[in-house]
A = this chain, B = another copy of it.
Amino acid sequence: MKLEPVGFVRSNPPGGPAEVVIYEEFSEALDGIDGCGHIWVLFWMHRLGEGDRRTLKVHPMGDRNRPKQGVFSLRSPVRPNPIGLTRVRLLRRDGNVLVVQGLDALEGSPVLDIKPWIEGTEG
């Protein structure tokens, strides 16, 4: 189960919009995406260390006043497989670049997959 990056988050200024660059060799896989109002971006949370992958319980929102909870019940980036999942609005595709709004990912994050968001299915 080895992942291959298909692109990366080039920029994500506060307030957006953000730019997701898809590597040229995968650009063709974007054909037809213009019809999508929203898309899922799956990415690798690259700043996390090996220790974060072994941590199974954390304080919700980092708030030490709240008891620790299992990471599968939280959106914390700390988890065994640091895959980030963020739904964004697709503003436009410029060749191999997606311009999106609402990207919850750090600049430089490797992108793993793009999936269409289909209303009603929540998938």
Contact = CB atoms under 8 A, between A and B. Distances in A.
Interface of A: 1-6, 22, 26, 28-33, 35-36, 38-40, 42, 44, 53, 56-57, 68-75, 79-81, 83, 85-87, 104, 110, 112-118, 122-123
B116 A73 contact: yes
A70 B110 CA distance: 20
Nearest to A35: B73
A57 B27 CA distance: 10
As for how many copies of this chain the complex holds, the number is 2
Contact of A123 (B1, B22, B104, B110): B104
Contact of A32 (B30, B32, B69, B115): B69
A57 B71 contact: no
A36 B71 CA distance: 13
A36 B1 contact: no
B112 A83 contact: yes
13 contacts: A1-B2, A1-B44, A2-B2, A2-B3, A26-B56, A28-B70, A29-B73, A33-B72, A33-B73, A39-B72, A75-B115, A80-B113, A85-B115
